[in-house]
Amino acid sequence: MAVAILNIYLLLLFLLVRFKVVPFNTFWKASPFIVLVLVMFGLLVPMGWGAPQGNALVVRNAVSIVPDVAGEVIDVPVVANTPLKTGDVLFKINPTPYAAQVKAIEAQFKLAKTRLGQMTQLYERDAGRGFDVEQRQSEVDQLGGQLESAQWNLDKTVVRAPTDGYVTNLALRKGARVANLPLSPVMAFIDTSNTIIGVEINQIDARYVAPGQDVEATFKFAPGRIYTGKVESVLQAIATGQAQTSGTAVLPKAIEAAPFIVRVKLDDAAFADRLPAGSAGTAAIYTDHLKPTHIVRRVVLRQLAILNYVNPF
């Protein structure tokens, strides 16, 4: 932007000198340097404070799908990268051993309830002991809990989508054997119910950023277009400032001013939902300070939006 302003000034100065409106003396010869200093320290540097700009990235939560029960996969009806709704079937595990367990416990549960009824009748006629009734009641309660657990295992042989989203990098096939081990996920599920857009803002420019401020963003995915939004939150921690539990003393390391992350929400929710995870772009935040600089920032952002047609980086 500084180069563009300086070039415009040089062209204007050339025309003024060419038509002898101003004399080409020492002052006018040095004026481009004066203009450059004024532009840098009177406009561009304050613009970083009043309307900071940074790289934007679209992030989606990924869920590692781990089945709650082990067994042989008998069906994988899901198709990779196809939109799914909450509760849609991802894959099915052979339910035979779990169904057999449910039937066995159900039979024991029915018998225990019958015995409980008989013991209760005998006790009410003073022909039985109260201890026997309590013992049978305990058996019924235990088998009821076992039946509930067995039914839960049977239901979990059908693995469903935890939320709206899609499965990516699908390698699971019929006949594979899966286990309910946390370190052995069988597929990656991308959650599309919530779009996270983060903007990196340099620490020297983040002092005035606050939730609720206006945002404009442009993405490589949609060159030439500007999307409005609002600041949702300013993350209050980054990895370099995190203290972790350790058995060692403080380990000195190089300190750098890593950018802060600002989470924003676009007004066009439909477009935000269509943005693929990993979409990159540029966003500008318009704070409540140095508002005259906002005009220049809007121009700069629109220039970047147009350059996105040809600039892949």
pLDDT at 7 over 80: no
> Domain segments of the chain: what residues?
1-47, 51-60+195-241+256-313, 63-190
> What residues have CB less than 8 Å from 61, skipping those under 6 apart?
190, 191, 194, 196
**Of residues 44 and 141, which shows the higher confidence score?**
141
Q: What is the pLDDT of residues 254-303, one digit of tens each?
A: 888 899 999 999 999 999 989 999 999 999 999 999 998 999 999 999 99
Distance CA 48, CA 41 (A): 11
pLDDT for res 248: 81
Q: What is the pLDDT of residues 115-131, one digit of tens each?
A: 888 888 877 777 778 77
Strand locations in 47-133 (E): 53-59, 62-65, 71-75, 89-93
Share of the chain above pLDDT 90, in %: 62
Distance CA 271, CA 167 (A): 21
**What is the pLDDT averaged over residues 233-242?**
86
- pLDDT class of 216 with cuts at 50, 70, 90: very high
- pLDDT class of 6 with cuts at 50, 70, 90: low
pLDDT at 80 over 80: yes
pLDDT for res 294: 94
**Of residues 312 and 208, which shows the higher confidence score?**
208
- Say which CATH topology domain 51-60+195-241+256-313 has: Elongation Factor Tu (Ef-tu); domain 3 (2.40.30)
pLDDT for res 52: 96
Number of neighbouring beta carbons within 10 Å of residue 255: 8
What 3-state class would DSSP assign to 185? coil
Distance CA 135, CA 129 (A): 10
- pLDDT class of 9 with cuts at 50, 70, 90: low
pLDDT at 251 over 80: no
- CA separation (Å) from 292 to 28, 126, 202, 211, 218? 27, 95, 21, 21, 21
- pLDDT class of 181 with cuts at 50, 70, 90: confident
Q: What is the pLDDT of residues 22-51, one digit of tens each?
A: 787 887 778 777 777 777 777 788 899 999
Distance CA 158, CA 74 (A): 10
In which residue are the tokens 């709704």 written?
85
CATH number of 63-190: 2.40.50.100
pLDDT at 205 over 90: yes
CA atoms within 13 A on the CB side of 119: 18
Q: What is the pLDDT of residues 101-119, one digit of tens each?
A: 999 999 999 998 898 888 8
Sequence-distant contacts of 95-100: CB under 8 A, at least 24 apart: 95/154, 95/157, 95/158, 97/71, 98/69, 98/71, 98/150, 98/153, 98/154, 98/157, 99/154
DSSP code at position 68? S
Lowest mean pLDDT among 11-25, 230-244, 273-287: 11-25
